[in-house]
Homo-oligomer: A and B are copies of this chain.
Amino acid sequence: MFKWRHATISWRGLKISFLTLLLLLACASVALAGDPSGTTTGGINDIAAATAGQPTLAEVAAQVGKNKIGINFVWTLITGFLVFFMQAGFALVETGFTRAKNAAHTMAMNLMVFLVGAIGYYLVGFAFEFGGVGAISALGGTAPLTQELAVNGWGLLGHSAFFLSSGGSYDVGVFTLFLFQMVFMDTAVTIPTGAMAERVKFSAVVIGTFFIAMILYPIFGNWVWGGGWLAQLGSKLGLGHGVVDFAGSGVVHAIGGSAALASALVLGPRLGKYGKDGKINVFPGHDIPMAILGTIILFFGWFGFNPGSTLAGTDLRIAVVAVNTMLAGAVGGFIAMMLMWLIFKKPDPSMMANGTLAGLVAITAPSAFVSALSAVIIGAIAGVLVITSVLFVDRKLKIDDPVGAISVHMINGIWGIIATGIFADGTYGDGLNGVTGTVSGLLYGNPGQFLAQLIDVGVILIWGFGLSFLFFKLLHATWGMRVKPEDEIAGLDIPEMGMLAYPDHLLRTELESE
């Protein structure tokens, strides 16, 4: 890059540049009519109702309330944007960990699930999940959406705010909630694509995404976050605060991971993955830097996912949530790396990535309720769990999950729910789910909370895995979920998408097949 033959010119050029710069410097005298320090900007005259700088207490108080809600909107929206960006992370992790011949297909699935999921959630998903929720005070709380199907007072699902047009839902607080919840649902729908990659029909994923976005996810979400029956286990049966799942280890990850397990079971393994002689073949991911970039993006987005779930920047517990998230992710990745190094003699990059994600999934539910040290312990156990689970699913169960979605999201999602019931330390959560007092777990003397969490796990297995297994079975039997074997062998990009991912690059597989 650096050719030395022009060296003489070079040094002269450099000197001239220096001199020019010093001359520029001479004109650096700056007029100061503005407010460069910011000390005089912003003050009594910026209160909406202030006239001549003499606002009344009521006028000041009105602006204070507006500011508070403004802070909460800013926080919830920006963290929601970060969660949206996780789409890029999932796309890169899934595409990087699969093969080049399917890269356009895998990548396009990850964009598509957002497009389809947003529409499904807009049409009915949000209404089912939050249509029965009262006004959320952190978001101003002016628009109660309170139409709830219930049996004996146990909430089942909402039916308000369909396509954000009914029931007073054209409201800034409702729209903020919608944006934040939409990107959460979106995370759930993108999890199964990893487990189905490299053999699934694109059209089947479109249909499956509508199912998850409109039915599977929002109805379960209603039960935990929408004031439904699982949230009521505390106020009605005295089981702690009912099911507590701060940012969705269960609602998002275990549900998405359960659908991943169901879809992988129904689809069956990729051709050649499990030999007839019992040989288990490894299909290495085609772009490790891509997968690691995706992991870092997911980590970045998780700082929206967990801390944003307060829906309030004025709830200062966000600091604890953010730090716990960071620590559990780091420890999960570190422990997984060290274990792989110990066992297989190499610090496997793919398990560094999956260990990190496992730690993040596990801390998602407990992040607001536990201490930093507990976050470290939860993350460490996640790092161990993900390796154990990946090996068990692949070697013993022989379920083909190309990117480890089941182990990362379902297993560690369940671990996160249980961990909340163990480690919650009684420093946060006063009034959650209508129960007075803070949230405590088993170690802090509250077996009721632990029991509520176990019930949540059971319901996830039945609803999340059971229903999606039925659905995918039906889909497979009617529409068909799997591409033709010759397309799978050649790669899905041309037959399914009509274009290659990397048409200019020579692939090893092509050369071999020629």
Contact = CB atoms under 8 A, between A and B. Distances in A.
Interface stretch (A1-9, A218-226, A265-273, A453-461): A1-9
B428 A37 contact: yes
A142 B70 contact: no
Q: Which of A61, A307, A342, A345 has the most CB of B within 10 A?
A: A61
A172 B349 contact: no
A352 interface: yes
Interface string A28-68: 10111111111111111111001000010110111111111
Given A314-B67, A316-B140, A38 B172 contact: yes
A483 interface: no
A487 to B, nearest CB: 13
Contact of A38 (B9, B33, B316, B334): B316
B497 A317 contact: no
Interface in A381-397: 381, 384, 387-388, 390-391, 394-395
Interface in A479-514: 496-509, 511
Contact of A316 (B172, B288, B507): B172
B337 A112 contact: yes
Contacts of A502: 286-288, 505
B327 A118 contact: yes
Contacts of A142: 34-35, 40-41
Contact of A46 (B44, B47, B57, B68): B68
Interface residues of A, number: 192
A40 B511 CA distance: 66
Contacts of A66: 42-43, 46, 68, 314
A251 interface: no
A10 B387 CA distance: 10
Interface stretch (A83-91, A239-247, A409-417): A83-91
Given A163-B373, A165-B30, A286-B503, A91 B292 contact: yes
A469 interface: no
